[in-house]
Structure 1
Amino acid sequence: MLKGKWVVAVSGGSDSMTLLDQCVKAKMDLIAAHVNYQKRDSAWRDMKLVEDYCEQHGIPCYVKLSHYEGKGNFQAYARDFRYAFFKELVMKYECAGVLVAHQLDDVIETYLIQKERRQIPMCYGLAYETVIDGLRIVRPLLSMSKQACRDYCVMHHISYGDDESNFTDDYTRNRIRHQIVEKMSLEEKQSLAKQIQMMNEEKRQLDQTAKQAAQQAGEYLAVDDLLARTDGDNVLRQWLLLNNGGKNHSQAFIESLFQRMSKNGNWCADLPDNKRLYCDYGFLNVVDEQLTYSYTLEKFEPLDTPWFKVSAQGTSLQAVSVAENDWPLTIRSPLPGDEIVLRLGTKKLNRWFIDRKKSHKERKCWPVVVNRVGKVILVPEIGCEVAHFTNKPNVFVIK
């Protein structure tokens, strides 16, 4: 039995009512969560039967109404809406996570959808336990079929409702359910579930090897090394997971990147959450296009940041002589048009990046030191502004 306090997601269907009743019989510490999307008349019936069951068994029940008026993907909206609600309850009542009632038929349906779309997911079918946006999700019913859940409710005299929107083939999942899964015998479902389990075990081993290669590459992945590997697509996928906030990518997207890599040259591709993948001089790097930083120093003091550090010693190309009227200094990320006047002339920062073949990741976070009037007086590795050059520098900024 799972320990701790749990939120149980209860729609009112036979699956979730089975899960709720099993948790009650196991004497678990529970909170029931129900979402009413107000998209069908029977939604109020389902809400009432969940509330009635919870009242009968003394379970706290929390209901949230949705007021969706958009024209986009309702299923995606509904998923985000309910999981945000579940997370809110988990955090408020200090729960271990949320229990959801996905069952064996859901595993089969999800796998067939993945197969139809040529997806290479994190897990084929559905995992027993996963984490979404920091929310722990557990699926205790994966070995029970849909019919077994219905039979359980009938046997234990538990009321449940059927969502009539599932009766049509309007959605991909419904079509696969009606045309394939519902025609399978229990033995066929269990056999396919075992195959899926074996595929996941094989995938886990392959992913582990690819993940090790991705970790060794760090923030920069060499294109030549990637193209030379037989598991290059998986290494790239694992590397993107590590460098792009755990976001998985479709096989079609991975294949499109390999096509671009095979043609050499520099290029970029958009990623989720305002990030971008750059291929710079034979190396891949992920850049957060929204990344900026700015630090203000009222006086000299040692400072260590993810992008630079301020020190009392360093090399000549990290040095600057700061006068009293230069303070406060600002050390920030580059801005368009940044330039610095050196002893041999004016150097545009972007031109220097190109000449030195700096990656876009480096360009995005390279430190620029400006004085109180906004004049650039130092760019580490380029040098200091001509009027701030002496043989006794007092500030060093190290990239």
Structure 2
Amino acid sequence: MAYAEKRGRYWRGRYKLPNGKYGSVSEDDDGQPFRTKNAAKQYAAGLETDVNRKTFINPRDGRITVAEWSELWLESIDVGPISERGYRSRLKAVIIPEWGSVAMGDVSAVAVATWIKKIRQQYSLDHANGIVSTFRIMFDDAIKSKIRSDNPVPSRRSGRRGRFQPRPKTEKVIATPRQALLIARNAMSLRGFNEYVMVLTMAYTGLRIGEIAGIHRSHLALKDEGAGARIHMAHQSQYVDGSFTEIDPKYGSGRGLIIPQFLADLLQQLLDSRPESEWVFTAPNGGRLLRGGGWYKSTWHPIVEGCGARPSGYGGMPAHAGLRPVLGVEGLTPHGLRHSEKVWLDEEGHPKVAVEARMGHTLPGVEGTYSHVTLGMELKIAASLQGLWEQSQRLVVGRREFGPLPPPLAVNRS
């Protein structure tokens, strides 16, 4: 039975724990000491009631700091290496510097709301949301571990107070088949046949950039024996702990993708041009394909947004006459080509189950249980993509497709 006892100027409550021993509490939920015997006893009695109802959270457990809990939490999670790296990066760079020394039980919803407002002013929307999501998941697991009973980090679905601010709508930039061809031609001019085929492969398969980099020669079945030419996507290439390695595809979405005949022909030409290479797509020097920030700067952005004439000696690369930007796809990312193929197939009216399977997704609910992909559906997708490719070859009359050539790049010879 709960009781109170005098401790100097104040009182503390005593209550029976689940293990039969007695615990003590010296402060209320606001951190204020108990000034009367009755206040201490009533609070302890409430905790004892929680013990009997099996909803008890030991106030002492909440004294572990955010930094201490984050270390335990990181050791406990079982996620892919890319997700874990993201969690560790957000914790180290943003969360721990702000909250590391604070006890888990002292993190309040008001303080968190103020912090979220601040980081959304400092970082991009996606990065800020990733930081908040990591903090929220940490507290979700803290609740399961009886560290505290509530989550002070609001979910996106939770109610909010204050003035209404509509969420900014971020439209994904997508390309038409014609624009994808023009980007590929720019890639050919800048980096050669390898880059040309790679851009078209992204556009006509919907593969992610990491999946593209992980395609081996053995993953291609380019001879159509009645079931279509295919790419068997088994893994993706990523940096893990500073090393370039192969990991499972995102969401375990390994799959065999039927491809249109034109793409099978291009891939065969690429393989024939370097029979010694294990990889389908390689770096300019023939080594393993690396797609990091340097590639985006030196290759992707120029083939989409154009680049000025490059004199000999610029960045150690050969001279180039420059590329004109493809109009209408400003800000397009490689992942935007994945979105583009999804739009093309939706416009062609293919069954949702077949389109989502091609993207590596699973339909939820009853539709996903009872819908199935057939070979006939896949062959129709390949035929549609072949038709889109052939249409993209037609010259567009009366419409500008390229912007003006950017100014030449100067070489600093000082």
TM-score (norm 1): 0.22
Higher relative contact order (CA 8 A, sep 6+): 2
Name the structure where strand makes up a greater proportion of residues. Answer: 1
